[in-house]
Amino acid sequence: MFNCDDVIQLLTEYVDSELEPDTKALLESHFGACPACDQFLKSFRRTVELTGEFRCEDIPEEVSIRLHSFLEERLRTSDQEGSLDEG
């Protein structure tokens, strides 16, 4: 059986579904018998979920335009000078 300190060490692998079935079953047995660990698990999982809410792959349009303009200028210069090194 796990004690509470063992459980805390395994939480990341548990919420990421990376534990072996036997270990997972032991952990879940502990959660069923220990309300404090069960609460800790819920807040731990919620933290991971909330962090994931920041997920975003957008770039502001003006930043993208500035980036492409910058790169086009540098590539054009490199074509004229033959190299981008240390430019």
Question: Given the rule CB under 8 A, which residues bind other proteins?
Answer: 4-5, 7-9, 11-13, 34, 36-37, 39-40, 42-48, 50-60, 63-64, 66-68, 70-71, 74-75, 84-85
Q: At its nearest, how many Å lie between other proteins and the CB of residue 87?
A: 8
4 vs 19: CA distance, rounded Å: 17
- Tokens at residue 85, please? 């090194």
Specify the residue, 1 or 50, whose C-beta has the smaller distance to other proteins. 50
Smallest separation (angstroms) from other proteins to the CB of 21: 18
Which contacts (CB < 8 Å, 24+ apart) does range 21-26 have? 26/1, 26/2
